[in-house]
Amino acid sequence: MGGGSGNSSTLYRVIMSTDITLVSRQLFALVDVNNFYVSCERAFNPHLINRPVVVLSNNDGCAVARSNEVKALGVKMGMPWFQLKDLVRQHGIIALSSNYTLYGDMSDRVMTILRDFSPYVEVYSIDECFLGLQGLGKLWPTATDMGQSIRNRIYQWTSLPVCVGFGATKTLAKLANHIAKKQPEFNGVCDLAMMPSSQLDALLSAIEVGEVWGVGRRISQHLHAAGIHTVKTLRIRQPLGCVPDSA
DNA sequence: ATGGGTCCT
DNA sequence: AGGACCC
């Protein structure tokens, strides 16, 4: 589900691409399957729907996918089995070994559907895909309509639930996807590119910097030390710490 | 007692 | 090789 890195150039990229004052006419979508491995298992075993389900890594060593019910019980991403098994017993969690053949096949189906929406697809991980949407014309009245169309089609053809985020950069599209996933009132689709700045500010001030793509524990710590806690502040305080090493 | 990647230093 | 980040 993806790679990453942590360093000063990452910070530079993150901060620059979070700065919506660098307005371009570019538009990206990020489509992401919710709880991907669990959703794949549910697509073929309806008994798993509405139950707490966790999918384990290769040697059943740790949790790599969690249903919402399991997240609510406090199971963390990457949690090792020895910490997990008590919770599994106490709460009747269903723990499954991973089936990568199935997930790869489902991933291919999703990506094939997405190629009908844009010729510019970047498969970022087994369950995530960026779409470049610049200059594609107006097949949908708004990006949000397109996002709902993507959701509906993928659900109808694969029974997998996805969320869709739109933004002027990949980082913003990813953040939009995050919002679409966390805030049910968005109905699984969030477009940050067409959002009034007052609403954008309200949203971004409620999101911790650590939620931004590429900002992990280490960079969060540095940002906190600089008094930057929310994505709204990260945007405003953009000049801080953004000088690349070569400058 | 822990998975599998990528990218950077 | 080890660190940081991603699912």
- CA A51 to C1' B8, in angstroms, rounded, equals 41
pLDDT in tens, A140-189: 999 999 999 999 999 999 999 999 999 999 999 999 999 999 999 999 99
Nucleotide nearest to A83 (CA to C1'): B1
pLDDT in tens, A23-78: 557 899 999 999 999 999 999 999 999 999 999 988 888 899 999 999 999 888 88
Strand order in the sheet with A53-56: A63-66, A53-56, A94-97
Near-strand B residues (CB closer than 7 A): A 1-5, 7-10, 57-59, 61-62, 64, 77-78, 80-83, 245
- CA A181 to C1' C6, in angstroms, rounded, equals 17
- CA A2 to C1' B5, in angstroms, rounded, equals 7
pLDDT of residue A50: 94
> Please, which positions of strand C sit below 7 A from a protein CB?
3-7
Give the residue from A33, A25, A11, A34 showing the smallest Cα distance to A171: A11
- In chain A, the domains with their CATH numbers are 1-20+208-247 (no CATH), 22-35+102-207 (3.30.70.270), 36-100 (3.40.1170.60)
pLDDT of residue A235: 85
CA dist A64 and A68 (Å) reads 13
